[in-house]
Each structure stands twice: as structure tokens, then as C-alpha cells.
Amino acid sequence: MEKVRATITGVGAYVPEYILDNHELSKMVDTSDEWIMTRVGIKERHILKEEGEGTSFMGARAVEDLLKKTGTKPEEVDLLLCATVTPDHPFPATANIIADKVGIKNAHGFDINGACSGLLYTLDVAAKFIESGAKKKVVVVGADKMSSIVDYTDRTTCVLFGDAGTALLLEPTTEDVGLKDTILQADGSGRHYLYQKAGGSAYPATHETVDNKWHYIYQDGKTVFKHAVSRMADVSVEIMKRNNISPEDLAWLVPHQANLRIIDATAQRMGISRDQVMINIERYGNTTAATIPLCLYEWEKDLKKGDNIILAAFGAGFTWGATYIKWGYDGSKFHK
């Protein structure tokens, strides 16, 4: 029997209009364009300002974009997964809200919290549903409204994050393309270095949790940086090795966009050059589950069927991983 793989057949995205740039941030906290550009590589981020709207607002727009461009009817979708750390509500799942907003009625769905590696975790789950034959058209949403958990008086975190929604369509193929290999890892002992302390069952919201700012992102940046650099590079090199991909064979590295220095260190360890790396952190910052598809979306027109692509991420948990994809279509078909 021919092997069935999952392949990405389209990419959709939505970024909010409002742009928060380094100049505006430097009026809010003691920071500068020079510090942010040298240490992280971000110039601006998009922020969702619509009152009462959460992650599903951006996720639904990204899915609408995806369904329209791929000519997919909402009722044809049979599974919708949403990678996010900023769900609209603790429950129900943001995946269910997005499905309702876009008219997806014949699918089940749920959220996956793998933090900044969430997109890779979710792609893997989607692929398993397709490889088993259980599902045929799976939508993977990567969306985060990071501005909802950022303390805009804390200069060590508020310069880093932005908001975005993205969506990928996955379908079965028997051709030699698609998701070929994945390495996913986690180490929960790193949980205290990057987390949102309150709002879950350990510390439900009280006056005290609000006064202590426990509903915002806390990050020990230096420790996270150290782990991110070594672990993202380790898995990226490992996935290259075990699939016999030389630096010349690799069309693209698509890294999670948390810090330009982490991206450069990963590329260096892989022995590839900057022009093999998708980088758009300068314009969006760290949009958590959305960073990788947002790159694929922006580079889609340049992607060719058969391109070897490695996706790599590191995030809270700690979680990290790498995914090897042989790209399934010429992106130019959507960009005539």
C-alpha cells in the first residue's frame, strides 16, 4: 500500500492593522530602537485593538483567507486545530469558536498549548490524523493575541511580542512530498523561566494576582535565551542529519521568530547562510504560535514543489522541536 503523508496545500494569515513601533514603545518604557534592534531585531509589531475581540478574531480571518484562496468550502473541513497560549477563554476551545465564525460545521476541533513550539506540536497531531486516514482536510490555526498578556510597563518583555493569526490547510498525498519527519521535545522543569503565573487553576484571578501582575508574561530572558540557542540548533542539526539533508540541499529554514540572535545561531550551527532563512521578526516581533506560518505566508510565492524545508521552534515549557517538510506545491500558483 502506498504511504499516505500530510502535505500543506495552502497558507492564510491575518495581521491587525495597528502598528506599535520602537519609537512609540520608547515613550512608554525606558528603551530605545537601538537596544531592541541590536539585542532582538524587532522594529515593529501589530496589535489587535478591537474591543472585546480575542485570538479567534484573527484566527477566523486567517481561515477565511485560506479557504478562499484554496477554493475550500467550510463544510469540507473535517478537523480544525488551534495552537495558542492566548485562547479567547479558558473554555470552550478557541478552535470551536473559529469554526463557528467561519461556518465549519462538519469538523471537531480543539486547542493545543505548546507555547512557541505549539505550531509544530499541532502540525504533528494534524499529520497523524491524516496519515491514519481518519481526516482529509485539516485546518491548523496558529494564532496569538500576545498583547493581552503583555505588561506594557515591563521593558524586558513588552518590546518582544506582537499579535497575528495564521492558518494552514493539510491534505493527504501519496506523492513524495509533505511532512516527512518531526522531532518534538519538552522539559517541564523549565516552566518557571517563562510563564503566566495566574489565571489558571493554580492561581485563579483575585485582587492579589492582579495587583502582583501575575496575569502577565514573566520571562527570565537570559536563561530562556541560553536554552533556546542550544536546543533549537540541536534538533535542527539532528533532523538534517537523520534525513541526509546537506546545507546545499536545504531550500529554507523557517525558525520561530523570538530573537534574531537565536535565529542566526541556529543557522550557523546548521551551516546554512542567511539567505536560506525566512526572517520577518523585524516587522512582527514574536507572535508565538503564528511566527512560522506567517513566514510561510510571506514567502509562499517563492516556494517550489519539492523544496526541502525545516521548521524549528523553542518556547515556554520548555518545549522545542523541528519538522522536515518536502514542500508540496509551487507557491506561484496563488500569486499570479
Active site residues: 116, 256, 286
Say if residue 324 is exposed, middle or buried (CB neighbours under 10 Å; 0-12, 13-18, 19+): buried
Among residues 259 and 266, whose Cβ is nearest to ligand UT7?
A: 259
Among residues 118 and 328, whose Cβ is nearest to ligand UT7?
A: 118
CB of residue 269 vs ligand UT7: minimum separation in angstroms? Answer: 16
Residue 18, all three cell numbers: 495597528
Kindly report the backbone phi and psi dihedral angles of residue 192, in degrees, each rounded to the nearest multiple of 5, phi listed first: -85, -5
Give buried/exposed letters for 229-245 (b at 16+ CB in 10 A, else e): bebbbbbbbebbeeeeb
Among residues 147 and 308, whose Cβ is nearest to ligand UT7?
A: 147
Among residues 173 and 266, whose Cβ is nearest to ligand UT7?
A: 266
Give, in order, the Cα–Cα distances in Å from 211 to each of 132, 154, 207, 215, 219: 49, 14, 6, 9, 18
Contact residues for ligand UT7, defined by CB under 6 A: 31, 35-36, 39-40, 116, 155-156, 159, 221-222, 224-225, 228, 258-259, 262, 286, 314-315
Residue of closest CB approach to ligand UT7:
221
Among residues 262 and 296, whose Cβ is nearest to ligand UT7?
A: 262
**Pick from 107, 118, 4: nearest CA to 55:** 118
CB of residue 238 vs ligand UT7: minimum separation in angstroms? Answer: 19
Give, in order, the Cα–Cα distances in Å from 263 to each of 8, 93, 158, 238: 23, 31, 20, 16
**Pick from 143, 197, 168: nearest CA to 72:** 168
